[in-house]
Amino acid sequence: MGRTVTSITQTFLKERAAFARFRRALRASDQQVLDDLFASARKHLSAASYASHALPFETFLLSMLLEEHKEITRLRREVAELRHALQQ
């Protein structure tokens, strides 16, 4: 029989666990931010399973970046709307 390929979810959990000591060394507020980043990466695990050419952690970082960019875009839109409302 062939080798069993680890699922992307298992790989994600393993990578997150590998950062446990790093996380514990952070301030509590930074621990929450790191947890949020990993949570944002978890949202994209199904897509990450199609990125077999990349290293798993690269895919997780890209997922985190995607979520952060979505938030920045949302905030920019909100600021623009507020500026527009103030100018009226």
Which amino acid, residue 10?
A: Q
Rounded Cα–Cα distance for residues 69 and 77 (Å): 12
Kindly state whether residue 3 falls inside one of the protein's structural domains: no
How many domains in the chain?
A: 1
Tokens of 24: 């514990």
Give residue 53's pLDDT. Answer: 84
Reference 68, options 43, 47, 44, 37; nearest CA is: 37
What pLDDT is stored for residue 1 in this prediction?
60
Query: What pLDDT tens digit does each residue of the chain (88 aa) get?
Result: 667 888 999 999 999 999 999 999 999 999 999 999 999 999 999 999 999 888 999 999 999 999 999 999 999 999 999 999 999 8
Q: What is the model's pLDDT at position 47? A: 94
Residue numbers of the domain that contains 78: 8-87
Q: Give the C-alpha separation, 64 to 85, whole Å.
A: 32
Residue 2 lies in a domain: no
End-to-end CA gap in the chain: 70
